[in-house]
Structure 1
Amino acid sequence: MNHSDLLDLAIRLARDAGQAIEAVRRAGFAIERKGDASPVTAADRLAEGIITEGLLLATPDLPIVAEEAFSEGHVPAVAPRFWLVDPLDGTKEFAAGLDEYVVCIALIEAGRPVLGVLAVPGRGSLYAGIVGQGAWIEEAGIRRPIQARRPPPEGLHLMDSRSHRDAAATEDFCRELNIATTTRMGSALKFAWIAEGKADLMPRLSSGIMEWDTAAGQAVLEAAGGRVVDIEGRPLAYGKPGYRNPGFVAWGLD
């Protein structure tokens, strides 16, 4: 399967997972706590099962690193090519009745995300891209290309986390920047807004964000012309020990 085929596979599975998540929302659900005290619901587990089963069936040779399986101790060895899956990024927002949670699927090759999908079931939209080939959004069955923007004269639009904020570090990082507006979100949809040209940067300067939280968003953003770098300015890489990210910054066009 080539990259286009693999992206089509990821899109189909992300849509299926999104439909399952919405069904759980309509039926009602309980909120549980994992070992790290982060929330998990039946929707997280159901969506991950749909995605991993589909990936295993279509690409049995590719390992899958998925959030819920990882939290239960299923940690594949790092491989040259592997899938990264966050079946429901923004569980806090989902549980609170917000619509910004996303389904994240990315393919990693040689330590870099090469394609990714961000499905937004609550909004009926989907972002996807292949690095080097472009990115797009689909809304109401209509697909259109997207591209990161250059900073507008009035100043930068900052994307910030709603619940995992390091206000002091973010303020220090932005001190020399012309920040005009700020939007706070609790999911990888922040990457999509930068890819779509709605925003310009997202600093996440503390370590501990997991690779499945960023891979699909990074793929879409880089496919749209943006970039994601660590605090040393190097491209954010994957397959690190524990699949854990350092601090990083996502940018639109220079």
Structure 2
Amino acid sequence: MKRARIAYSGGIHDAVEENGLLRLTDGRLLSEDGVIWLPPVQPRTVFALGLNYADHAKELAFNAPEEPLVFLKGPNTFVGHKAETHRPDGVDYMHYECELAVVIGQKTRNVKRTDAYHYVAGYTIANDYAIRDYLENYYRPNLRVKNRDTCTPIGPWLTDKDDIKDPMNLQIRTYINDELTQKGTTKDMIFDIPALIEYLSSFMTLDKGDVILTGTPEGLKGVKAGDKVVTEIEGLGKLENIIVGDSKFKRKSKMNVKESTVNHN
């Protein structure tokens, strides 16, 4: 089953996919174009993998890591399907990273890789944008590279674990303005999903709603304001968003602040 979270008619709703429509829990059927898409999960702790594909490490001129290279992401980085992502006007190189996102389904600690999938709720798509201008080095990702507001679209769906036969053999594609710019497969991960769950749970508790972003294959390309970026993973759907520059992003941010002030008063 494919599950979503949406905003519609003044409320936030859970929904499931049904024949190209969204069915709310109250039975209403809605068009996918008639709602605001939210992240399909409300992320708790989010683990992001760096250099988890050997071909990606090579294109960045780095050796593949010998153990998982993991950093954390804050909740304000996440936006939903068809949302806008801010690209500061003064940067030279910002690129997408299409990633399989693994959602943890129950609290656990010290999981063995043979049992790891038991603790997975499902999978979704993340596009973990990076702004390389701000990078200190690849082994200590700068907060300004990977933890910027709006720079990690996620969704559209949370697809149930049982609906994906082999998450380690899924095709990955990215398109900029309908041009194919990235093509890969999850089977090329250096550290697979069971290895990552075993590694992380060996020293910390994993909770329901935690998310693991498993890295991206080679094929990166810069994005600019106005670009439509679509990241696609086999069986999980297509995640679309638009890149916006400072003028539009800051104008919308000011509007949101004013609206919050009015609502508060």
Shorter-chain TM-score tier: under 0.3
Q: Which has the higher helix share?
A: 1
Larger radius of gyration: 2
TM-score w.r.t. length of structure 2: 0.23
TM-score w.r.t. length of structure 1: 0.24
Q: Which has the higher strand share?
A: 2
